[in-house]
Amino acid sequence: MQNSAAHRLRLVSGPEGLSFIILLVGMIFKYNTSFNPVPVLGMIHGMLFLAYVAFLGLAWQKQGWDIKRVALLFVLSVLPTGGFFAERMLAKEERGELAPAAA
């Protein structure tokens, strides 16, 4: 049985990474055209980021991960394509292709 907190973290990491990239594209539009999608895109990305951090905290508590793993997953969340790498790493762990990192 999979851990629901780690599974939720995996499910939110991809959309969080995508929203970051879309927000960066929105910034380009903001400064180069009269179209400003940043307020809406920023709010969507912010909500996904908060969900990611909340699920990261829950997974840390439930899985008993060490601080290095949590720090890596947090750093991946603030990199433009890091959410995709986090999702891939968590999916491999969920499928059993990667040994689960526990304390």
- Report DSSP letters for 12-70, one per residue: HHHHHHHHHHHHHHHHHHHHHSS---HHHHHHHHHHHHHHHHHHHHHHHHHHT--HHHH
Cα–Cα distance, 74 to 85 (Å, whole number): 12
Sign of CA dihedral 69, 97, 78, 47: negative
Stronger pLDDT, 100 or 52, i.e. the higher one = 52
What's the chain's average pLDDT? 90
The per-residue pLDDT for range 31-54, each reduced to its tens digit, is: 999 999 999 999 999 999 999 999
Domain ranges of the chain: 4-95
Mean pLDDT of 5-11: 91
The per-residue pLDDT for range 84-94, each reduced to its tens digit, is: 999 999 998 88
- Token pair for residue 38? 């940043």
pLDDT beyond 80 at 103: no
